[in-house]
Amino acid sequence: MKDIEFTLEPKEIHPDSEIRGTIIVSYPGKYDGVVINTQILDSNEHIIYKSYNGKKISQNVSRLFINKDVMPENRAEFTATIKFEPKQVHEIKFRASIIEQHKEIESQIIFANYSI
């Protein structure tokens, strides 16, 4: 088993639809938390994270760090959305990484599509 398992639903994303992700860490060493970075390819737009582990996020963030202290059983769940109206299909790159002392230990990448 890998040190990080990352799943995302749905993989076909539309404006204002809810994106749900789950990260499970089985890294045996100490780590500070996980970070999710997202890039909407061929666009200057951003994803907006709404919550993690049931806790609402009050400000719009495009990069999400989840501290290990708020990850029961080394598990994190998040929700996000994308607001802009796409004029073409955009590929979205989601990268979830385990962070230890400001260094990336391991990561997993998932690609999704964004369209009307």
Q: What is the pLDDT of residues 76-110, one digit of tens each?
A: 999 999 989 999 999 999 999 999 999 999 999 99
- Checking if the pLDDT of 1 tops 90, the result is no
Letter string b/e over residues 22-50, b meaning 16 or more CB atoms within 10 A of that residue's CB: ebbbebeeebbbbbbbbebeebebbbbbb
Cis preceding linkage at 10, omega within 30: yes
* pLDDT at residue number 112: 97
* pLDDT at residue number 77: 97
| Mean pLDDT score across all residues of the chain | 93
Closest CA to 81 of 56, 46, 53, 43: 46
Q: What span, in angstroms and rounded, lies between the C-alpha atoms of 90 and 101?
A: 33
* pLDDT at residue number 59: 78
Question: Per CATH, which fold does 4-114 belong to?
Answer: Immunoglobulin-like (2.60.40)
- Checking if the pLDDT of 32 tops 90, the result is yes
* pLDDT at residue number 61: 75
Kindly report the pTM of this predicted structure: 0.90
Q: How many residues does the chain have?
A: 116
Dump strand ranges (E) for 1-116: 4-9, 12-13, 19-25, 33-40, 48-52, 55-56, 63-67, 75-81, 90-100, 103-114
Domain ranges of the chain: 4-114
**pLDDT per position as a tens digit, 55-82:** 999 777 778 999 999 999 999 999 999 9
Task: For the beta carbon of residue 89, count every other beta carbon within 10 angstroms.
Answer: 11
**pLDDT per position as a tens digit, 35-58:** 999 999 999 999 999 999 999 997
* pLDDT at residue number 58: 79
